[in-house]
Amino acid sequence: MNAESKSVSFSAEDFEKALAAHDYEFQKGQTVTGVIVDHATDGTYIDIGGKSSAFLPRREAGLKTVVDLSARFPLGEEREFLIIQDQNADGQVTLSVRQLELKHIWDSLEEQQTSKTVFQVKVTGTNRGGVMVDVDGLRGFIPRSHLHDKEGMESLKGQVITAALLEVSRDRNKVVLSQRLASQSEQFAQLEVGQLVTGHVMSLKPFGIFVDFEGGTGLLHINQISNKFVKDLSTFFSPGQPIKAVIADLDEGRGRIALSTKYLENHPGEILENLQEVMDSAESRLERAKKKLGL
């Protein structure tokens, strides 16, 4: 009988070695799927495919205290768990739902910070520096300087407000948010380059005009007013004066909206010669203005 035809024996010792090798896959920090098999006073037993059932302590059953384990984890239910302690002498690992939920929350917050997501948070308390908020079960903080109403912090207790993330640090368990940044993000979401806005002159500066319009405040730089040199802004503009302009650039990171009226001109200097005519026909000039902007 040749080697290929020999029967392969598999002893109990070989089985134990194979099982031990399989169990070695279960390590601290690993996410596993298991089935609820039993409940005890201090926790729940989970079958994750090891030689011993894994154990979920009551304190690790969720972010909030779980009173009824059998209701929260019905027998036979399958779900994910995080291994928080390696195997003991009996081959049993310790699991956590609480830390898995925390991991998911931190992962989500880091993703939302990158995407500049705006979301709702509940104000839970205040101190001199700002307000504390609940962020999906984590404690967050909004500095006073990033609140709309810096003097009315006490009135915010219990209120749900819109905020955006400023800083997310998993290692330092730190979540800092901004109410002002959220407003800015919502504002920029409604604006686009090439959009015609209608507002009024808020103030004149040596370098240009600040224009207030529904949705924000933009700068009409002196070089963006006309295709011809403008010597004195006050000759053509005054505070409170109605004005239309095209959004030439948006810089959300710096909170800047750049406006332009020169793209509305049919010829260089038309704004300076007949400002009102350009303003009155701004809508009909918009398509050509967009082409000049490369849109």
| 263-279: pLDDT as tens digits | 999 999 999 999 999 99
**pLDDT reported for residue 116:** 75
The proportion of the chain whose per-residue pLDDT surpasses 90, expressed as a percent, equals 73
pTM for this model (two decimals): 0.60
Superfamily covering domain 102-186? Nucleic acid-binding proteins (2.40.50.140)
CA atoms of 92 and 112, how far apart (whole Å): 36
Which CATH number is correct for 191-292, 3.40.50.720, 1.10.4080.10, 3.40.50.300, 2.40.50.140? 2.40.50.140
**pLDDT reported for residue 6:** 47
**What is the DSSP-derived secondary structure letter of residue 252?**
T
DSSP H helical ranges for the chain: 12-23, 69-72, 98-115, 179-189, 270-273, 275-280, 282-292
Tell whether the model's pLDDT for residue 182 goes beyond 90.
Answer: no
Q: What angle do CA 161, 164, 166 make, to 5 degrees?
A: 130
Looking from the CA of 196 toward its CB, the CA atoms found within 13 Å total 19
**What is the DSSP-derived secondary structure letter of residue 76?**
T
For residue 249, the tally of other CB atoms under 10 A from its CB is 14
> How far separated are the first and last CA of the chain, in Å rounded?
81
Exposure string of 198-210, with b = 16+ CB inside 10 Å and e = fewer, is ebebbebeeebbb
Identify the residue with better confidence: 194 or 8.
194
Identify the residue with better confidence: 22 or 243.
243
Query: Given this chain, do its domains 102-186 and 191-292 carry the same CATH topology?
Result: yes
**pLDDT reported for residue 147:** 93
**pLDDT reported for residue 7:** 47
**AA identity, residue 11:** S
Report the candidate in 22, 37, 28, 39 with the shortest Cα–Cα distance to residue 83.
28
130-140: per-residue pLDDT in tens? 999 999 889 99
Q: What angle do CA 238, 189, 130 make, to 5 degrees?
A: 85
Tell whether the model's pLDDT for residue 1 goes beyond 50.
Answer: no
Which CATH number is correct for 15-96, 2.60.120.10, 1.10.3680.10, 2.40.50.140, 3.20.20.70? 2.40.50.140
For residue 285, the tally of other CB atoms under 10 A from its CB is 19
CA atoms of 227 and 269, how far apart (whole Å): 6
Tell whether the model's pLDDT for residue 245 goes beyond 60.
Answer: yes
CA atoms of 244 and 77, how far apart (whole Å): 62
Q: What residue ranges in the chain does DSSP mark as E strands?
A: 31-40, 43-47, 54-57, 78-85, 94-96, 118-127, 130-135, 138-143, 160-169, 174-178, 196-205, 208-213, 216-221, 242-251, 256-260
Tell whether the model's pLDDT for residue 3 goes beyond 50.
Answer: no
Six-digit token pair at 64?
């909030």
Residue-range domain boundaries for the chain:
15-96, 102-186, 191-292
Q: Where residue 4 falls among pLDDT bands split at 50, 70, 90?
A: very low
**pLDDT reported for residue 257:** 93
Mean pLDDT (the chain) is 89
